[in-house]
Amino acid sequence: MLNDDSRPLYFSFEPRQQVVEGSVVRIVAHDGSSEVPCWFVTKDANLTLCNEALFCLGLLPAMKMQRDLHIEGSLDAKLYDALRRLQDIYGIWEPTYRRTQLSGAARSLSAPSLGLGVGTFFTGGVDSYYTLIKHQSELTHIIYVHGIDVGLADKRLRAQVSAMLERVGNDFGVKVIELESNLRGYFEDFGLEWGRHAFGPALIAVAHLLAPDLRKIYVPSTFTYAELIPVGSHPLVDPLWSSSRLEVVHDGCEATRIMKVQKLATSQTAMETLRVCFNNVDSNYNCGKCEKCFRTMVNLKAAGALERCTTFPGTIDLRALRRMSVIEEYERAMMLQNLRALEGQPAERQLYDALNKILKRPVWQSRVNEEFWRRVRVWRRSVRRRLGLEKKYSQFELGGNDVQPPQ
Ligand SMILES: [Zn+2]
């Protein structure tokens, strides 16, 4: 972590030797006294050192740290010209961010990309599958970064994710690019919340490193046009990170999660590999107990596809569902989508009533409720462990800073 002062943040590559059939790239943000490294490793592609990636990794840390940003060399004109607009948006989203000056980089007119590839970021979740199926005829690559939603040290879950990606690659006829990175930990070291502002530019930095192979990258949306809130990846912001060589498209805001699930339920591969849970307790593929798992199971139920989806329990535990709390604005919006989808389904009356009850609960009561059940879970787990009935609870650190890249 850098100290508080006014020195500019300098960004540079520290290229390591190419590894067999792939690349290791290390980027360093420094202010002359201390540094924050960010690294990427892949065996599936040749990563290209480009200042467009440095810009995506540097702008938010510089604004957050109230420093100027220094990048040596040339920066694509399209991205260079987006500097003001990006800062207009982030500045109104987060008033503590300071408008930063860019120094060192010269505005350059780049030739259009020679790359033919069209990629999408893919985690195996609802948003990812929707974009994959919608643009199947155009897509050539799917990209997954280990260390963001699964800890790098979580070998068991990572192997399951890699197997899922391999199957999707084969079934959809797309090339899979898997990378390892401390990307999430890098942004969090600057005090930037991953979900709130960081994950859009972070992922798009990866796409710029892959730009010789790609001319377009889709970033699957989280929210619809009716529910837009400031968030890491956003239809207003993502396209501004495009360069003359790489078009960035924020995709899927026209569809609710129910509509997305209806689309992915047409794919047997999706029904056998869908993965939404970022809980990662005991390396479970989907825990079936967290807000996101419950929300997706209700999505699947409303779409008439829960029984066919083999990565979730086939039935919803209504008692456990009723205990759930929705506190965040986006959680309420998504639950409301589920409620509306169930309105015309008399057979799902009990499920409808359970969701209605959760939504009607005041937020203060939901917070008390959540804390109560959290303590119950901790107590139950400790009792089971003492009785030797539960294996050691395991959950690995997200972010990637717990693992060093190969030298
Ligand atoms: Zn879960």
What's the CATH code of the domain at 181? 3.40.50.620
Query: Does residue 140 sit in the same domain as residue 247?
Result: yes
Question: Is residue 162 assigned to a domain?
Answer: yes
Average pLDDT of the chain is: 87
Question: Is residue 131 assigned to a domain?
Answer: yes
How many angstroms does the Cα of residue 224 sit away from the middle of ligand 1?
Answer: 22
100 C-beta neighbours (distance < 10 Å), count: 24
Could you identify the residue written with the tokens 């084969």? 170
How many angstroms does the Cα of residue 125 sit away from the middle of ligand 1?
Answer: 12
d(CA 297, CA 314): 9
Residue 362 in tokens: 């005041």
Assign 395 a pLDDT band (cuts: 50, 70, 90): low
Question: Quick check: helix, strand or coil at residue 361?
Answer: coil
Query: Does residue 234 sit in the same domain as residue 128?
Result: yes
Query: Does residue 54 sit in the same domain as residue 150?
Result: no
Query: Does residue 126 sit in the same domain as residue 182?
Result: yes
How many angstroms does the Cα of residue 273 sit away from the middle of ligand 1?
Answer: 14
- Which whole number is the average pLDDT over 385-401? 70
How many angstroms does the Cα of residue 286 sit away from the middle of ligand 1?
Answer: 5
Query: Does residue 129 sit in the same domain as residue 205?
Result: yes
Query: Does residue 81 sit in the same domain as residue 133?
Result: no
Could you identify the residue written with the tokens 């501004």? 240
Write out the residue range of the structural domain in which residue 323 sits: 288-386
Sheet containing 175-181: give its strands across: 102-108, 69-76, 9-15, 23-30, 35-42, 175-181, 141-146, 117-121, 214-220, 247-251
- Which whole number is the average pLDDT over 336-344? 88
How many angstroms does the Cα of residue 406 sit away from the middle of ligand 1?
Answer: 31
pLDDT digits 0-9 by tens, 297-321: 999 998 889 999 999 988 888 888 8
Highest mean pLDDT among 4-8, 199-203, 310-314: 199-203
Question: Is residue 108 assigned to a domain?
Answer: no
Question: Is residue 403 assigned to a domain?
Answer: no
Question: Is residue 187 assigned to a domain?
Answer: yes
How many angstroms does the Cα of residue 146 sit away from the middle of ligand 1?
Answer: 18
How many angstroms does the Cα of residue 166 sit away from the middle of ligand 1?
Answer: 22
Query: Does residue 246 sit in the same domain as residue 121?
Result: yes
pLDDT digits 0-9 by tens, 19-69: 445 677 888 777 767 788 888 899 998 888 888 999 999 999 999 988 888
Question: Is residue 128 assigned to a domain?
Answer: yes
How many angstroms does the Cα of residue 300 sit away from the middle of ligand 1?
Answer: 14
How many angstroms does the Cα of residue 132 sit away from the middle of ligand 1?
Answer: 22
Report the predicted TM-score, pTM, of the whole model to 2 decimal places.
0.87
Residue 320 in tokens: 């456990």
Is-contact 326 291, C-beta < 8 A?
yes
How many angstroms does the Cα of residue 176 sit away from the middle of ligand 1?
Answer: 25
How many angstroms does the Cα of residue 61 sit away from the middle of ligand 1?
Answer: 31
Question: Is residue 203 assigned to a domain?
Answer: yes
Query: Does residue 231 sit in the same domain as residue 300?
Result: no
d(CA 210, CA 404): 22
Query: Does residue 184 sit in the same domain as residue 220?
Result: yes
How many angstroms does the Cα of residue 360 sit away from the middle of ligand 1?
Answer: 23
How many angstroms does the Cα of residue 398 sit away from the middle of ligand 1?
Answer: 15
How many angstroms does the Cα of residue 386 sit away from the middle of ligand 1?
Answer: 25
Query: Does residue 124 sit in the same domain as residue 246?
Result: yes
How many angstroms does the Cα of residue 394 sit away from the middle of ligand 1?
Answer: 15
Q: Which among 204, 223, 251 is the end of a domain? A: 251
How many angstroms does the Cα of residue 19 sit away from the middle of ligand 1?
Answer: 36
* Overall domain count for the chain: 3
Question: Is residue 217 assigned to a domain?
Answer: yes
Query: Does residue 222 sit in the same domain as residue 195?
Result: yes
Query: Does residue 35 sit in the same domain as residue 88?
Result: yes
Highest mean pLDDT among 5-9, 181-185, 346-350: 181-185
Here the contacts of 327-332 (C-beta below 8 Å, separation 24 or greater) are 327/363, 327/366, 327/367, 327/370, 329/229, 330/222, 330/223, 330/227, 330/229, 330/231, 331/291, 331/295, 332/359
How many angstroms does the Cα of residue 281 sit away from the middle of ligand 1?
Answer: 9
